[in-house]
Chain A
Amino acid sequence: MLSIKDLKVIVAEKEILSGINLDVKAGEVHAIMGPNGSGKSTLATAIAGRDVMDITHGSIKYMGENLLEMDPEERAKKGIFLCFQYPVEIPGVSMVNFMKTAVNEHRLFNGLEPLSAGDFLKYMREKKELVEFDSQLTNRSVNEGFSGGEKKKNEIFQMALLEPKLAILDETDSGLDIDALKIVANGVNTLKNKDNATIVITHYQRLLDYIIPDFVHVLYDGRIVKSSGRELALELEEKGYDWIKEEAGRQEK
């Protein structure tokens, strides 16, 4: 589904990603872990298409197509969804209007009739229940005045509405208490099936107790320095990142 080859990215004149290789197939869950500043979020936004970075080398193929040539909205409509680490507040734009526009853009792209206001509200109610999203929040402006936990749950709710093929969760667990974490993880697991894939970016192994990864990659200094099965996450939890840094340092020499 997703194939990243030797991806190098410069942000503000600094190389953040220095040759990333990653293959994600349908039905898989990949966890990307790593210490602060290792380039995890840059990788997520590069896939989603934020144009504040220079991609100097490498390629990203998605379903056989060159992803780097697409606008963010085109990527979204083709099934890529980024759960933001810091969801953006948009004063004055109502949640309903925002998501109705987004859902209908997706439908238009897939050759479907747009949903009427009534049908959309019904669809929204179903999805709200599915991911346990507080019904009051959809009456407000996008993320405006939402608590940290509400913002993250809102991301999962939007994901449920848009039914992506490839979901990227960027530090979705940060700032969540254990109850919220369970709800978020539950949402992700409910939406998971054999045809879609998930990339979970996280600092801690905690989220991976609830969203079980098939693969764990460690990103350090702009490179994936270690890839393994789920057991790697447990090892990191126990030993921290220092041994990874040392190992990576030795490889350099």
Chain B
Amino acid sequence: MSMSQEYVELFKAKEQLLEKASPSFMMNIREEAIHQFGKTGLPDHKSELYKYTSLQKLFEPKYNMQLQPSNVEFRVEDIFNCDVPNLQTRLEIILNGFYKVNGTALTRLDNGIIIGSFAEALRKYPELVKEHYAKHAGFEKDSLVALNTAFAIDGLFIYVPKGQVLEEPVQVVHLPMTGYDTMLHYRNLFIMEENASAEVIVCDHTLSPFRFLTNSVTEIYIGSGAQFHYSRIQNEHLNSNLLTNLFIHQEADSTVRSNTISLHGGLIRNNTNVLLNARGCNNETYGLFLSDKNQHIDNYVNIDHAKPECTSTQLFKGILNDQSTGAFNGRILVRQDAQKTLAYQTNNNILMSDEAKMNSKPQLEIYADDVRCSHGATTGQLDENALFYMQSRGIPRQEARLLMLYAFAHEVIEKIQVTPLKDRINHLVDKRLRNELSRCNNCSMACGDLPIPD
């Protein structure tokens, strides 16, 4: 049986369970998605999009598909603290792909803001979910999204109504923690109505030493004039593999800024898809990754300038050590209608060892004639002249390297607007560069010594 067929069979076997968790409109979408996946399967090495990241190999080992919430007899918050000092956040935990209920599954604040379990939102506000679910993350041409759409049951849901501001940033901690090799699918849906504003921080960690494969989809709708800031810190162990699929739909004069900081992990592939669907949108997509050992980190960004007078900026930086490999593929599509587009893209990488490898591929497709677009990519080593200059002032070579790497990384970190978060990430990157963050977590827990939920 082919790999894709195995998932079709699994879907059939679990159909009742999935049906129980889905209203009929959603079950129809699930069936379409699994049908699609069965037809196309996973992209192979011939696919341009996955040229540098082999999904076939990643899906080869046997995983248990997590389709039910885990029972935990302790508060995850008590043993794990993804701490950002001086920052008051609303903490939400996604444990093994399911929203961890702590009191109520879904909270409706006085100003109409709704935050909580995606599965619960489906039950309580099906119309709201229906309006956006699977509308931004198309699965017709994307196998990972198809697989997620077929199997994902829960995740985080945020709804900010017109003109409302989510005062406290939401911090979502995504934690795989099982006693066996596990595949996880979870689904986030964030809806920002007209002139709404919110800040979301996502932390990816692992709390048990098994092999994990997470395939997440996050759909974000940004209404006219809305503002959304999204920061992501990925810090997992070497056996943990992360596939993230982010879909952002922007309406007129909206602003979105996202920062993805990949500190540690086995294999990480971040897909960021942005649709600038009306005039005057501003999108900034930033990324920084630090890899060593045999890690592999691949960032794919696709910015679709569908309408005129929008601005997009991409800046991705990588520091690669040991035998690690990285890839960056940034596509800017400027459609015929999108006059007066400003689109910029930069990718800079530093190779710290002879064996590290980076593939960088900028792609510009421009069909409008009055636009300003630029792209540039560099991959190199630290400047020997600068290192010697610092040494000649008494700074040890190792410290000089750190100063330069830190300066290199800083350009991305400084784009984070929340100061306490920026400070925290500065600290983590500094520790990572000093090799003091060789374990996945910054928590005090020794991963693997924890009680493991059923």
Contact = CB atoms under 8 A, between A and B. Distances in A.
A and B together in one complex:
yes
Contacts of B10: none
B389 A102 contact: no
A49 B386 CA distance: 14
Nearest to B385: A88
Interface in B347-394: 383, 385-386, 388-394
B450 interface: no
Interface in A180-211: none
A77 interface: yes
A106 B395 CA distance: 9
Given A73-B397, A88-B386, A49 B392 contact: yes
Given A88-B383, A162-B393, A93 B388 contact: no
Q: Which of A89, A101, A105, A109 is most buried by chain B, counting CB atoms within 10 A of its CB?
A: A101
Q: Which of B386, B395, B403 is most buried by chain A, counting CB atoms within 10 A of its CB?
A: B395
B403 A50 contact: no
B168 interface: no
Interface residues of A, number: 31
A215 interface: no
A81 B393 CA distance: 7
Given A88-B383, A88-B385, A158 B393 contact: yes
A102 B395 contact: yes
A48 interface: yes
A71 interface: yes
A71 B397 contact: yes
B140 interface: no
Interface in A146-184: 158, 162
B396 interface: yes
B393 A84 contact: no
A240 interface: no
B404 A90 contact: yes
A233 B391 CA distance: 33
Nearest to A143: B389
A98 B404 CA distance: 10
Nearest to B388: A50
Nearest to B403: A93
B396 to A, nearest CB: 5
Contacts of A102: 390, 393-395
Interface residues of B, number: 21
A88 B389 contact: yes
A76 B407 contact: no
A90 B399 CA distance: 14
B411 interface: yes
Contacts of B404: 90, 92-93
Contact of B403 (A48, A49, A77, A97): A97
Given A88-B383, A90-B404, A93-B404, A109 B394 contact: yes
B386 A90 contact: yes
A37 interface: no
Contacts of B406: 92-93
Interface in B381-431: 383, 385-386, 388-397, 399, 403-404, 406-408, 410-411
Contacts of A84: 389, 392
Nearest to A83: B392
A147 to B, nearest CB: 18
Contacts of B395: 73, 98, 101-102, 105
A34 interface: no
Contacts of B388: 50, 72, 88
A105 B386 contact: no
B243 to A, nearest CB: 32
Contacts of B386: 88-90
Contact of B393 (A49, A71, A76, A109): A76
Contacts of A87: 389
A126 to B, nearest CB: 18
Contacts of B389: 84, 87-88, 90, 142
B394 A105 contact: yes
Contacts of B390: 90, 98, 102
Nearest to A79: B394
B407 A91 contact: yes
B145 to A, nearest CB: 37
A82 interface: yes
Nearest to B408: A92
Nearest to B389: A88
Q: Which of B391, B393, B395, B404 is most buried by chain A, counting CB atoms within 10 A of its CB?
A: B393
A220 to B, nearest CB: 26
Contacts of B399: 101, 105
Contacts of A73: 391-392, 394-397
Contacts of B408: 92
Contacts of A89: 386
Interface of B: 383, 385-386, 388-397, 399, 403-404, 406-408, 410-411
11 contacts: A72-B391, A75-B392, A76-B393, A84-B389, A88-B383, A88-B386, A90-B389, A92-B404, A92-B406, A102-B395, A162-B393
Given A50-B388, A72-B391, A91-B407, 20 more contacts: A48-B392, A49-B391, A49-B392, A71-B397, A72-B392, A73-B391, A73-B397, A84-B392, A88-B383, A88-B389, A90-B383, A90-B389, A90-B404, A92-B408, A93-B404, A93-B406, A93-B407, A98-B393, A101-B395, A162-B393
What are the 8 tightest A-B residue pairs by CB atom distance, in nearest-first order? A92-B407, A76-B394, A72-B391, A102-B393, A88-B389, A105-B394, A77-B394, A93-B407
